Every structure is written in C-alpha cells, then in structure tokens.
Chain A
Amino acid sequence: MRRPGIAAALSLLLAAPATGQEHPDLSGFWNLDFAPPRPEAQLLLAKLPPDTVVIEDTGVVEFPEDEYGALKLKPEAQAKASEWKPTDEMTLSRVCAAPSIVYSIQGPFPFELHQTDDIIVIEYEYFDRVRVIFMDGRDHPPADAPHSKMGHSVGHWDGDELVIDTTHIEPSTITNNGLEHSANIHMVERYRKLDEDTLIATQWFEDAQVLDNNGARLIQWRKHEGQFIYPYDCDPSIAVEYQQTGQ
C-alpha cells in the first residue's frame, strides 16, 4: 500500500494533463551512476553562478569529520560543525531523522520521476520522501510559510534542461558530517538528459547565514527499466543496539 503522501502526490499527477512532446521526458526509475561524469557535464558546470565551489561528496563518497570541501563556513557554522561527533547520529532521536533534499538528492539511493506539463513528482527511496515540483508558473509561498525537508519547488524548462528552484527547506545537514544549512537556503537544480538512459544535474545552493560562498554538486544517474523503489520505513532500534554494543 502506498503512503498517503505518495497517494496524494500521484492524485495530483493523474489530474494533470499528459506531458507534451516539446520537452525531454525524464520519467522513470533512476539510480546513481557510478561511472565518471560524461564530458557534457561541462555544459552544466559552465552555467553555475560565480563564487561557486563544486563539492565532491556525491554518491558513496563522504567527507570525514571537519572537512567540507571548498565551502567557506561562517564562524558560527564552523564552530557548530566542529562540535559534531559521528556518534551524535546514533541516538533514538536522530537515527531516523530524514535529511533534507539538500543532502539526500546526491546519495546512492534511487528515485522515480513522474512527469507532466504542469507538475513533476519525484519519489525518493531514501527515507520514503515525496517531492512535488510545480511547473505551472506559480511562485514560492511567503517567506514565513511552513518549511519541510523537501521544501517548496517550482520548475521550468530552459530549452532541453529542467531547472528547479527550491526554498522553504527545513534546516538539516549539507554534508552529513555536522554542517547544517539554515531555513533560508536556496537551491537550484539543472537537469539534462544526455541519452535515453543517462541523466545529469547540477545542484547549486546558497545560504548566506551559513556560507561565505556558494556550493554545488554534479550528479549523474542511470535509468533502470522495470525497477521500482522499495519502502524504507526507518527503524530507530539500531541506535539502541549501537549504544549497547561493547557494554
């Protein structure tokens, strides 16, 4: 049985008109591509705003403690991040806390994308998250509207590239090692389909409350026909097991 959030999102999708032919169809099951990025990635990287650093923690690679790529952290953010310890995450209150889209977009878990002209729905396997991207020209809600881990996303087509602008993201990790973004983070993704089975994107973000420069990732996925995402249903009991180990 699908979760209510997924059912609601898919209802929206079914009510929307079918996609036209003028844009690439990004629908399907996509999983991280472990091959090096294709040369066409330079086309997307060239479109990143100035003062942006590409951090190389995409996929299975992760930064160790106290390393954040070339991101320039504000002193307060640096101090908070330096206090973080890996074992902080192995507690009942933290172990099943889903990260925001800022971190979870790049991990080695698949997603299913469902596309129409007016709305795009993405189901992420990681922590059972569902994301709606409004393609109907609407704006973001007022700044004081509720925030969520998936944020509020509006999208448009720039030629053959899908551009998604996201705000209202609840504070969460950026690099999974103690660096957290604020509620004011602003994220822009640019997707380009390189061929029928290869999708590539840049994920750019700015957060003046936390960073003195801007960050980005380059992510490449492969399409897998006939596959589907599995339920995640996070179970926090691992935190208790970990705490009891060695006692």
Chain B
Amino acid sequence: MRNGLILAGALLALVSGGAQAHHSFAAFFDETKLVTIKGKVTAFRFTNPHGTIGVAVVGEDGSTREWRAETNAPVVLMRRGWTRDAIKPGQAITIEGWLARDGKPYMRLRRAFDADGKLIGAAPFTQADD
C-alpha cells in the first residue's frame, strides 16, 4: 500500500454514491473507487458548500503526501452530529471516501474515525443521505 492508501474494492458494489451538493458527485467522483487513508489532520474547514479535511499521509517510504477529503455540506453534517470542532488539526484520523476522477489526492468523505477508532458524527454518508 503506497502512501497509506487502501483500495477497498470489495466494498464498491455495496456502497454507491454520496449525497450531492454544489457539484455533481457522479461526474466528479468515482463511485467504484472507495479508498481509505490514515494520517494526521492538517486543517479542517467547516463551511458550505462542502467542508474539507486536510490529511498528511506518510507512506511506507517515509514521504508525506497531503490529501484532502471533501465532506457533505456542513448543514447536512450538523444534522449528523458534526460540529466545527469535531476534528482538530494534529489529531490522528482515518478517512474512507470516493476518489476524485481527476487523479488528485482528493476524495469525498464517506466516514471518518478518530485515533480510538470511534466514528466521527452519528452515521456514515451513504446513498440514503440528505
């Protein structure tokens, strides 16, 4: 696994699509590429149309790559138990999400876990989300 990236191919058929917001999920993200990254939070922005989580991911060769996970709109996150203090820079985090189609280290968050493996928020984001 390079740069801490885990392709979760077996899960692909089970989870399709995240909730849309300002840009088209289907056009922007690949719903067949669900990935998991582990690293340290470098930034957390909690504003619409999407929040973002910056994550520094250290690969097996010791190099660090900066990833960014886009969240659903914070108006949606708030109804799922998120707050603007739900994530803090410096904390360890694991994020699962759908890869951007353009090849950037950019994804749409499905769910995130803190250092203790606890789910952040009340529920993951799936096709049944609002």
Contacts and interface: CB of A to CB of B under 8 A. Distances in A.
Q: Do A and B bind each other?
A: yes
Interface of A: 31-32, 34, 60-65, 86-87, 89-90, 95-96, 107-110, 125, 176-177, 229-235, 237-238, 241-242, 245-246
B21 to A, nearest CB: 8
B83 interface: no
Given A108-B130, A234-B48, A246-B105, A177 B70 contact: no
Interface of B: 17-28, 45, 47-50, 52, 54, 66-68, 70, 73, 75-76, 78, 101-106, 127-130
Contact of B50 (A32, A125, A176, A238): A238
Contacts, number: 111
Contacts of B127: 60
Contact of A230 (B47, B78, B103): B78
B68 A241 contact: yes
A59 to B, nearest CB: 8
Contacts of B22: 89, 95-96, 234
Contacts of B28: 86-87, 89
Nearest to B125: A60
Nearest to A63: B26
B4 to A, nearest CB: 15
B75 A109 contact: yes
Nearest to B67: A245
Nearest to B75: A230
Nearest to B27: A86
A204 to B, nearest CB: 22
A223 to B, nearest CB: 14
A86 B25 CA distance: 9
B35 to A, nearest CB: 15
B106 A62 contact: no
B75 A34 contact: no
A237 B70 CA distance: 12
Nearest to A125: B75
A125 B28 CA distance: 23
Contacts of A64: 24, 26-27
Contacts of B106: 242, 245-246
A60 B19 contact: yes
B20 to A, nearest CB: 5
A238 B129 contact: no
Contacts of A90: 23
B130 A32 contact: yes
Contacts of A231: 75
Contact of A108 (B19, B23, B48, B52): B19
A64 B30 CA distance: 10
A237 B49 contact: no
B24 A34 contact: no
A96 B49 contact: yes
A233 B78 CA distance: 14
Given A34-B130, A62-B20, A234-B22, 4 more contacts: A34-B128, A64-B24, A230-B78, A246-B105
Contacts of A109: 73, 75-76, 130
A241 B48 contact: no
